[in-house]
Amino acid sequence: MTVHDADLRSATAPLATADPTEAGGILTIDLAAVESNWKRLAGLTVPVECAAVVKADGYGCGLEPVTRTLHRAGCRTFFVADVAEGRRARTVAPDATIYVLNGVMPGSAQAFAADHLRPVINSTTELAEWDAFVATKNWRGGAALHVDTGMNRLGITVEEAAAIAPRLQSENHGFTLVMSHLACAESPDHPMNARQLRLFRDIRMVYRGVASSLANSSGIFLGERAYCDLVRPGVALYGVNPTPGKANPMRRVVELKGRIIQVRTIDKGETVGYGAVFTAGRASRIAIIAVGYADGFLRSASTARGKPAAEVIVAGKRCPLAGRVSMDVLAVDVTDVAEGAVRRGDFATLIGDRVSVDDLAAGMGTIGYEVLTDLGRRYHRLYKGG
């Protein structure tokens, strides 16, 4: 669907270029697609509640516009990484439940009460500090308890969870959620999934009466056994494929276009860029695009000997990068594009059309999560559909 300028609204993200004529890239974020993706996942998991993970500035798409859109759509529980993100989410979702995944930093408990945020408790030391705050301030806002079932990152052990469980006999035990995190949900047949599901089932039995949550984006596609009482999709909301190796069930959210600032001709045998890693095998035309690794277009996308180059779309044709990505620019081989079809001021599509976030991530040797969360602040940001 064609989107007219009148249908687009500029972002207010810090450092975003206000004037599109000055920007090296235009980043368009489709909030209607974010909403559609959330509703699709919520529909798959009915009657289980579907939350939304909006950490890392809404996976690079803007915490406030994403949270506002999903709150209006009916989402009532959000997960963020830290208190600062929780405070931002609270401004646009005043009645939502907001969990802070990184938990209570030393001496930070009062900040949770100030904005009515709920910490995710990740250790017994953290729990002791939180309990002391709750007892002193008589605060009843609640907290989540994170039990580690195999990720070995954050969370109390299964044994510690069993030892803590008797406090549930108290009316004011303080836990509003018990949760864990899947390590290998992107690989449905990985034996770790069955192990974690079994362990968390046992935890749920011990913590009967407290809501539980296990499934992330890919976890939702493991089926009902992973749903528990609340699912918490993250990256799938933003268009990344939660089912690698299968067709992406999510709508595309992000489109990124980079401005061509020069088109130059080089002779056969000439090189392009730092390290001279690209050598023209023929007389070639090279388009220089005003996007680089300072904008989140990772240097790992660069041409290298023995490595296929990442590709972008120029004048409707897939074109490979030529040489290394620089801080502020990248070079693209447009020799196979019709003469005169590429001009200074035109735009190349870096994400969109036939290049998905996952495609670009593969060309960079990384994952869609990193591509999204590295989206640069020098782009002119446009929001549509929200």
What pLDDT is recorded for position 1?
34
What pLDDT is recorded for position 18?
61
Residue bearing the bigger pLDDT, 212 or 2: 212
Query: How many beta carbons lie within 10 A of that of residue 286, not counting itself?
Result: 23
Task: Give the H/E segment covering residue 285.
Answer: strand 284-289
Q: Are 142 and 164 in contact (CB under 8 A)?
A: no
Residue bearing the bigger pLDDT, 326 or 21: 326
Question: Running DSSP on this structure, what letter comes out for residue 273?
Answer: S
What pLDDT is recorded for position 305?
59
Of 31, 99, 28, which Cα lies nearest the Cα of 67? Answer: 31
Paired sense of beta strands 284-289 and 254-266, if any: antiparallel
Which residue's structure tokens are 């931002």?
88
pLDDT at 281 over 60: yes
pLDDT at 156 over 50: yes
Task: Give the H/E segment covering residue 162.
Answer: helix 158-164
User: Does residue 207 have an active-site annotation?
Assistant: no
How much is the pTM? Answer: 0.92
pLDDT at 4 over 60: no
Of 230, 268, 206, 276, which Cα lies nearest the Cα of 79? Answer: 230
pLDDT at 9 over 70: no
Gap between the Cα atoms of 248 and 198, Å rounded: 28
Catalytic residue, candidates 55, 238, 293, 369: 55
Catalytic residue, candidates 137, 268, 274, 307: 274
The alpha carbons of the chain give a radius of gyration, in whole angstroms, of 24
- Cα torsion through 108, 113, 119, 123, rounded to 10: 50
Gap between the Cα atoms of 224 and 210, Å rounded: 18
pLDDT at 12 over 80: no
Gap between the Cα atoms of 85 and 64, Å rounded: 9
pLDDT digits (tens, 9 = 90+) for 65-122: 999 999 999 999 999 999 999 999 999 999 999 999 999 999 899 999 999 999 999 9
Return the amino acid letter for 45.
T
Q: 246: exposed, middle or buried (C-beta count within 10 Å: 0-12, 13-18, 19+)?
A: exposed
Cα distances from 299 to residues 25, 162, 171, in angstroms, run 17, 47, 55
Residue bearing the bigger pLDDT, 6 or 359: 359
What pLDDT is recorded for position 2?
36
Averaged pLDDT, 349-370: 94
pLDDT digits (tens, 9 = 90+) for 305-336: 566 678 999 999 999 999 999 999 999 999 99
What pLDDT is recorded for position 17?
55
- Asked which of 168-172, 176-180, 295-299 is least confident by mean pLDDT, the reply is 168-172
Question: Running DSSP on this structure, what letter comes out for residue 33?
Answer: H
User: Which domains occur in the chain, in start order?
Assistant: 31-238 (3.20.20.10), 254-355 (2.40.37.10)
Averaged pLDDT, 10-20: 53
What pLDDT is recorded for position 5?
38
What pLDDT is recorded for position 13?
41
Helix axes 31-44, 63-73, angle to 10 degrees: 50
Gap between the Cα atoms of 56 and 80, Å rounded: 8
User: Does residue 39 have an active-site annotation?
Assistant: no
What pLDDT is recorded for position 105?
93
Q: Which residues on adjacent β-strands are paired with residue 352?
A: 355
Averaged pLDDT, 358-382: 93
Of 251, 134, 145, 124, which Cα lies nearest the Cα of 204? Answer: 145
Gap between the Cα atoms of 39 and 3, Å rounded: 22
What pLDDT is recorded for position 172?
85
Give the list of residues 6+ apart from residue 110 with CB closer than 8 angstroms, or none.
133, 137
Residues in the chain: 386
Chain mean pLDDT for the chain = 92
Record the tokens describing residue 356, joined without a space.
Answer: 């998905």
